[in-house]
Amino acid sequence: MSIQGPVSEQAVAENVDVLSSTQAVVAEALQRLGMPEGMYELLKEPLRVLTVRFPVRMDDGSVQVFTGYRAQHNDAVGPTKGGIRLHPDVTEDEIKALSIWMSIKCGIANLPYGGGKGGIVCDPRQMSFAEIERLSRAYVRAISQIVGPTKDIPAPDVFSNSQNMAWMLDEYSHIREFDSPGFITGKPLVLGGSRGRERATARGVMICAEEAARLRGRTLDGARVIVQGFGNVGSYIAQAMFETGARVVGISDAYGALYDEAGLDIPDLLERRDSFGTVTKLFKQTITNKELLEKPCDILIPAAIENQITQDNAPRISADIVVEAANGPTTLTATKILADRGVLLVPDVLGNAGGVIVSYFEWVQNNQGLYWTDEEVDRRLVDSMRASFTGVYEAAHHYGVDMRLAAYIVGVRRMAESAKWRGWV
Ligand code: GLU
């Protein structure tokens, strides 16, 4: 995913604190489920958060000390699971919130995991390949005691990819002195990665977009689509939309956006993007990310970072379907504005669950030592995403709530019930 600055200064006046807004939705979901008070006490924060500081030798011979986190939200259901992001804006609260979102995602998709999340405060765009390798290995050494194939299983996230996973796997296997492919997912295929993992999040977003369009009596063919972000997730979505026959009228990266009512040449843009998803720098006629979100389209897919759709721009979003591919791109106030305007919003915890679903498949294959075909992975992913979508949509009707709250109600249920059975609450 590429990185965007906040689109609006007014967003500051709104509650854009991801942790407290997440807690508010968790509280509401637990209340609707009739869970006891103590359940919120248990689930409002991760069970464990490890903060580490570790030195890394830079190419010029100097040593830089980096800060990293690993949060484990809840392990009542099973081991915790979630990605590691490499980004200069990473904070402890953000990682905590992201670990809660992972719990909710796993609950929606009925995976036998709780949520986890990791982050390293760094800017990999300013670092060499060798520096990123040393950073990745040092981080794993620092958190090695609390992670593992039956404890907490990391994966890629913003600015991390299969190469980071390969270094981390190698480091972990050295520390543990055995081959442990199930320690991490999102690995290269040759190291036990799963077919379809790299595109899994985008594939899941596509399935949600299809389902949402179907509810609106339409198909994706000919739909005008805007994708914000051109990284790990956004670029694959733009490509899949293009191949499906949708008209991708807008895309963006951290530095700007491109919009063309006639449709953009996505294959050409993919060819020209760099590994961090940067492409707009090559063009003179760019607009800002803020402008892009308000441009005419049928389906808007934020695939960058948090707090992009706020109370400031939500009234002017022209799409009637929004599928969140990024984590936390829409504030709670904006969620309400969109719902009141009749926009069908597929929340992040459902929209981007395809990534962790195929991570689960990867882990299952590692545990079995038996590997699946592309078709097998895809068939299972489609079934799982459709069931997740239907579960959330039906909960929205049953409880008379918006899709985000419905997703939390579905997502928190198994975890809360497991905690009860275990006698934790
Ligand atoms: N980082 C991805 C997410 O936010 C994937 C996590 C995983 O595969 O464990 O869902």
Q: What is the pLDDT of residue 336?
A: 96
- Indicate the top mutation candidate among 352, 358, 361, 385 to test ligand 1's pocket, ranked by most ligand atoms within 8 A of CB: 352
CB 210 within 8 A of CB 217: no
Is residue 58 located within the same domain as residue 160? yes
Beta carbons within 10 angstroms of residue 162's beta carbon: 18
Question: The pTM is what?
Answer: 0.94
Work out the pLDDT band at 417, boundaries 50, 70, 90.
very high
Residue 28 lies in a domain: no
CA distance 305 to 157: 11
Evaluate whether residue 228 is within a structural domain. yes
Are 354 and 381 in contact, with CB atoms under 8 Å apart? yes
Pocket test for ligand 1, best of 101, 157, 350 (most atoms within 8 A of CB): 157
Which helix (DSSP H) or strand (DSSP E) does residue 259 occupy?
Answer: strand 256-259
CA distances from 218 to 82, 210, 237, 389 (A): 34, 9, 19, 17
Last residue of a domain, one of 295, 328, 351: 351
Q: Is the CB of residue 70 less than 8 Å from the CB of residue 118?
A: yes
Domain identity same for 143 and 220: no
Within a domain: residue 151?
yes
Which atom of ligand 1 approaches the CA of 156 most closely?
A: 1
* H helix and E strand count, the chain: 14, 11
Residues 172 and 123 both lie in one domain: yes
pLDDT over threshold 60, residue 319: yes
Q: Do 207 and 340 lie in a common domain?
A: yes
Domain C-terminal end among 335, 351, 367: 351
pLDDT at residue number 277: 84
Ligand 1, atom 9: nearest CA belongs to which residue? 82
Compute the distance from residue 119 Cα to the ligand 1 centre, in Å: 12
356 assigned to some structural domain: no
- pLDDT tens for 51-86 read 999 999 999 999 999 999 999 999 999 999 999 999
Catalytic positions = 117
With tokens 């807690």, the residue in question is 23
Whether 414 has a pLDDT exceeding 90, the answer reads yes
Gyration radius of the chain's alpha carbons? 20
Residue 330 one-letter amino acid: T
**Three-state DSSP class for 253?**
strand
Give the domain range for residue 69: 45-179
Q: Do 250 and 146 sit in the same domain of this protein?
A: no
Percentage of residues in the chain having pLDDT higher than 70 = 97
55 plus 114 within the same structural domain:
yes
pLDDT at 295: 98
Residues touching ligand 1 (Cβ under 6 Å) are 81-83, 105, 155-157, 185-186, 327, 352, 355-356, 359
284 CB contacts (<8 Å, ≥6 apart)? none
The two structure tokens encoding residue 29: 């979901």
Structural domain tally of the chain?
A: 2
Indicate if 222 and 169 belong to the same structural domain.
Answer: no
Residue 393 belongs to a domain: no
Tens digit of pLDDT for each residue in 380-412?
A: 999 999 999 999 999 999 999 999 999 999 999
- The overall average pLDDT reported for the chain is 95
Q: Closest ligand 1 atom to the C-alpha of 185?
A: 8
- Which CATH number goes with the domain that contains 209? 3.40.50.720
pLDDT above 90 coverage of the chain, percent: 93
Distance 60 CA to ligand 1 centre (A): 33
Same-domain status, 225 and 128: no
Give Cβ neighbours of residue 211 (< 8 Å, ≥ 6 apart).
386, 389, 390, 393
Among 351, 371, 398, the domain-final residue is 351
pLDDT tens profile 212-263:
999 999 999 999 999 999 998 999 999 999 999 999 999 999 999 999 999 9
| 167 and 60 housed in the same domain | yes
Per-residue model confidence as pLDDT tens digits over 253-271: 999 999 999 999 999 999 9
- The residues near 185 (Cβ < 8 Å, ≥ 6 apart) are 81, 153, 154, 155, 165, 193, 194, 197, 359, 360, 362, 363
Do 247 and 323 have their domain in common? yes
Residue 414 lies in a domain: no
Can you tell me the distance from the alpha carbon of 241 to that of 250, in angstroms, rounded to the nearest whole number? 12
160 and 251 share one domain: no
Q: How high is the pLDDT of residue 9? A: 52
Q: What is the DSSP string of 24-78?
A: HHHHHHHHHTT--HHHHHHHSS-SEEEEEEEEEE-TTS-EEEEEEEEEE---SSS
172 and 210 belong to one structural domain: no
pLDDT tens digit string along 152-170?
999 999 999 999 999 999 9
For residue 133, give the CATH number of its domain: 3.40.50.10860
Q: Could you give phi then psi for residue 27, rounded to 5 degrees?
A: -60, -45
Give the CA distances from residue 144 to residues 93, 175, 217, 325, 424, in Å, rounded to whole numbers and listed in that order. Answer: 21, 8, 50, 30, 26
Residues 6+ apart with CB under 8 A from 423: none
The predicted pLDDT at position 95 comes to 98
- Please indicate, yes or no, if residue 389 is contained in any of the structural domains: no
